[in-house]
Structures are given as structure tokens and as C-alpha cells.
């Protein structure tokens, strides 16, 4: 029952100087072996992330990571009775593939397409033909503008490029730039957009159990939400500077997500805070255990509480059992100088299965907030 909140702020200001703000909890069985957050050199990439060590090494991934190139990604599982099947890939690979710029990731491929429309030959005074040649795409400006906005907010993963009667001849694009230029013998429609091959996207979605994936590129200040569950699956662009929240359902759903968003928005609305004060307040939101202070929550009640106290739990289909709860909390702030401040807090460390040597078996030091300063090359 992980929960994450984030804001990609297109125009940082005096009130809030950060271009990216993240706060999230990892809820997991305490026996699952885990490596703490550290700087990792993977091939030609330098990343900062924790790591799952339960799958074989070639299948390992992470739930949260940031790369020197300014790529950030995080994933949550989808709440369902059967949450893990044997033939599926580790969902942690989704995060790793994106921050490593792997060809396996859900990456938009930018392509420019040019369509040529020859001018119709017209007899003198044939105003109808002249009118047609001046505007080969007979869409009024209002319709075209609204359509473009819709395509940016929600990419069309069905494979249909929504830009005129000739779209059947074009590859499936989510339009990002559009122009119509008059040439010597006609018009050229130039469309630049994200190539979204519906079959490829759907095939990749089916390789994993239920997930929600967020991909953020701080270099282009763009973000996308990808899911293979819910009423609509596929890739969705997240535009603007909205504060978002996500748990184990669809984007911005569940009571605890709405509650956390409101608590964080209150912090941001009064954001004349030092970095340390901001971090402390964000951690206080992540540690909000309302609805479950007195007793450990039942599984269905976890939709209500942001912080899940450690308790014994058996999954619905008995796929896993043991002590479960919020194992760690993380806060990330990226400032206008492209410095990422990454904070990690481990909860109830004496019960953690940390896959690292701890001197004298003393894990209490893990309860301290660990801080990393990570300079981005963007």
C-alpha cells in the first residue's frame, strides 16, 4: 500500500524555489531483502536509488530512482487479490529501465511527419477550389485547438493520429507541434509528436502485474503516468504544475491520497520555509497514521491511512505473510540549480531485512534521516 506525492513545478518562485518535490512511503513486508539508498554506477549511468534484492540479479529493480541525467521514476503496485504471478517481470524494472534510458522502457519516440497537399487546379473564378487549396484541413481553429489539447493531456494509444482526413497514411502520433506551410505548388502539413505504437505499448503493459508508473524528465520538465489497470490503460502525459498523489489505485484516487495532497498543499501554500523545515513537514505528512493509531488497520482500511504501522498480515490469496507496514519514507527536493536533495528515513529498523552488513547487528542508526546531495547534469 505505498503512497507517493509529487509536484513538477514549471516555474519555481520565491515562495517555493523547487522545480520538483516528492514525498513517498514504501509499504512492504519487512522480510523482503532490501538495499538502502546509495549512489550506483550502472553501465554509463550514475543513479541514486534503493534496491530490491529478492529477485535474481538480472531481474532486480527499484521502486524509486533518480539519474544524473535528470530522470526520475517511481512505481506502485495495483491493489488486487492476486498481486503477483510467476510469469511476469519485476515491476521494479520499469523504474530502472526509464532512469537508465533503456530501450525496454516506455519512452516517447519523437518523429516529424510531413504531408504534402498539392493545390487543386482551378478555373478562373472557381472560388470553391481556391478555398479548398488555401486550407486543405477543413477544421475550424476552435476544434483543432481543443483537439490538440486533448491529445497532449491524454495520448492516443489506440494508434490513431487525430489530425485530419489524411491521418490514415500517417504513423500514430500524439501531436506536440503542428504547422501548415504554403509551398510553391501546395501546402505542407508538418506534425511533430510522440510516436505511440499501440501494439508495442499494449504488449509491454501485459508483461507486468498491475502497476502505476511515473516517469519524469527534469531536462524537458515533462512527466507521464503509465498504468495497465483501471478503466483506461496506456500512457498519459501530465501537464502543468499540479500536485499529484498516487497509491495502489488509479491516479489521485483513495481517501488517504486526497488527504495527503491537502496536507502537502497547505505546506506549499505557506512555503516560506528553509529546506530543513520543508523536509520535516513533508515527513510529518508521511507519518500521519490517522485511522490506525489505536489498532493496526485491516487490509481494506489501508486506503484511509498514509502511514501503515507494522503489523502481521497475510495477503488475500496467501501469497505472502509476515510483518507488514511502512518500511521507509523518502523526500526529494530539486532546486533551480539542479541539485537534488534526497532524504531517506527507515522505520522500525530492528525488524528490517537490510541486505547490508551492519556492525554489531545494531540497526538503530538506520532510524536517523539519511541525506544525499546529488548534482544533476542537465
- Please, what are the domains in the chain? 3-106+199-375 (3.60.60), 109-195 (no CATH)
Q: Do residues 8 and 220 touch, judged by C-beta distance below 8 A?
A: no
Contact 75, 28 (CB under 8 A): no
Asked if residue 34 lies in contact with residue 352, where contact means CB atoms within 8 angstroms, the answer is yes
Query: Could you identify the residue written with the cell 497509491?
Result: 247
Contact 255, 237 (CB under 8 A): no
10 burial (CB, 10 Å; 0-12 / 13-18 / 19+) is exposed
CB distance 339 to 351 below 8 Å: no
Q: Residue 73: what are its φ and ψ, rounded to 5°? A: -150, 150
How far apart are alpha carbons 344 and 368 in whole angstroms? 9
C-alpha cell at 368: 536517523
Alpha helix ranges (H) inside the chain: 92-99, 127-134, 141-153, 198-205, 255-269, 275-286
Other CB atoms within 10 Å distance of the CB of residue 200: 14
pLDDT at position 158 is: 34
Cell numbers at 258, concatenated: 486526497
- Give the C-alpha separation, 239 to 168, whole Å: 27
Residue 282: per-residue pLDDT: 97
Task: Indicate the pTM of the whole model.
Answer: 0.75
8 Å CB contact between 374 and 37:
no
Q: For residue 11, how many other CB atoms are within 10 A of its CB? A: 8
Q: How far apart are CA 299 and CA 297, in angstroms?
A: 6
Cβ-based neighbours of 150, under 8 Å, separated by 6 or more: none
Q: Identify whether the C-beta of residue 163 lies closer than 8 Å to the C-beta of residue 101.
A: no
Let me know how many helices (H) and strands (E) the chain has, helices first. 6, 17
Q: Quote the Cα angle for 228-324-205, to 5°.
A: 10
Q: Over the chain, what is the mean pLDDT?
A: 76
pLDDT along the chain (378 residues), means of 10: 91 86 94 92 94 80 96 92 78 92 64 50 41 34 36 36 35 48 58 56 86 94 92 85 93 92 93 90 94 59 84 67 90 96 91 66 70 96
Under 8 Å between Cβ of 33 and 296: no
The whole-angstrom separation of Cα 231 and Cα 294 is 36
pLDDT of residue 183: 58
Contact of 232 with 225, CB cutoff 8 Å: no
Please state, in angstroms and rounded to a whole number, the distance separating the CA atoms of residues 325 and 348: 10
**For residue 39, what pLDDT is reported?**
96
Spatial separation of the C-alpha atoms in residues 166 and 351, rounded to whole Å = 62
Nearest 5°: phi and psi at 214?
-110, 130
Amino acid at each position: 500500500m505505498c503512497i507517493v506525492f509529487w509536484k513538477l513545478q514549471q516555474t519555481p518562485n520565491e515562495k517555493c524555489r523547487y522545480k520538483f518535490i516528492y514525498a513517498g512511503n514504501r509499504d512492504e513486508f519487512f522480510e523482503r531483502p532490501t538495499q538502502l539508498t546509495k549512489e550506483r554506477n550502472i553501465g554509463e549511468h550514475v543513479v541514486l536509488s534503493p534496491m530490491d534484492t529478492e529477485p535474481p540479479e538480472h531481474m532486480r529493480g527499484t521502486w524509486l530512482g533518480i539519474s544524473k541525467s535528470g530522470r526520475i521514476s517511481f512505481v506502485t503496485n495495483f491493489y488486487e487479490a492476486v498481486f503477483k504471478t510467476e510469469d511476469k517481470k519485476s515491476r521494479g524494472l520499469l523504474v530502472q529501465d526509464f532512469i537508465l534510458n533503456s530501450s525496454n522502457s516506455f519512452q516517447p519516440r519523437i518523429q516529424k511527419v510531413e504531408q504534402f497537399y498539392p493545390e487543386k487546379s482551378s478555373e478562373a473564378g472557381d472560388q470553391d477550389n481556391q478555398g479548398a487549396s488555401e486550407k486543405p484541413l477543413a477544421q475550424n481553429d476552435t476544434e483543432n485547438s481543443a483537439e490538440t489539447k486533448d491529445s497532449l493531456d491524454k495520448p492516443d494509444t489506440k494508434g490513431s493520429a487525430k489530425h485530419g482526413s489524411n491521418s490514415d497514411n500517417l504513423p500514430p502520433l500524439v501531436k506536440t507541434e503542428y504547422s501548415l506551410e504554403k509551398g510553391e505548388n501546395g501546402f505542407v502539413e508538418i506534425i511533430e509528436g510522440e510516436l505511440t505504437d499501440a501494439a508495442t505499448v499494449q504488449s509491454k503493459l501485459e508483461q507486468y502485474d498491475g502497476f502505476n508508473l511515473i516517469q519524469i524528465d527534469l531536462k524537458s520538465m515533462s512527466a507521464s503516468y503509465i498504468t495497465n489497470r483501471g478503466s483506461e490503460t496506456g500512457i498519459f502525459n501530465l501537464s502543468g504544475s499540479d500536485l499529484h498523489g498516487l497509491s495502489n489505485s488509479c491516479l489521485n484516487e483513495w481517501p488517504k491520497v486526497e488527504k495527503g495532497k491537502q496536507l502537502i498543499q497547505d505546506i506549499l501554500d505557506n512555503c516560506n520555509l528553509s529546506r530543513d523545515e520543508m523536509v520535516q513537514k513533508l515527513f510529518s505528512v508521511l507519518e500521519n497514521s490517522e485511522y490506525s493509531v489505536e489498532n493496526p488497520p485491516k487490509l481494506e482500511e489501508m486506503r484511509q491511512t498514509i502511514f501503515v504501522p507494522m503489523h502481521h498480515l497475510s495477503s488475500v490469496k496467501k501469497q505472502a505473510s509476515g510483518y507488514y507496514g511502512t518500511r521507509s519514507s523518502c523526500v526529494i527536493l530539486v532546486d533551480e540549480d539542479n541539485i537534488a536533495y534526497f532524504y531517506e528515513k527507515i522505520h522500525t529498523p530492528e525488524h528490517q531485512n537490510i541486505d547490508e552488513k551492519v556492525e554489531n547487528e545494531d540497526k538503530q542508526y538506520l532510524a536517523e534521516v539519511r541525506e544525499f546531495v546529488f548534482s544533476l547534469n542537465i
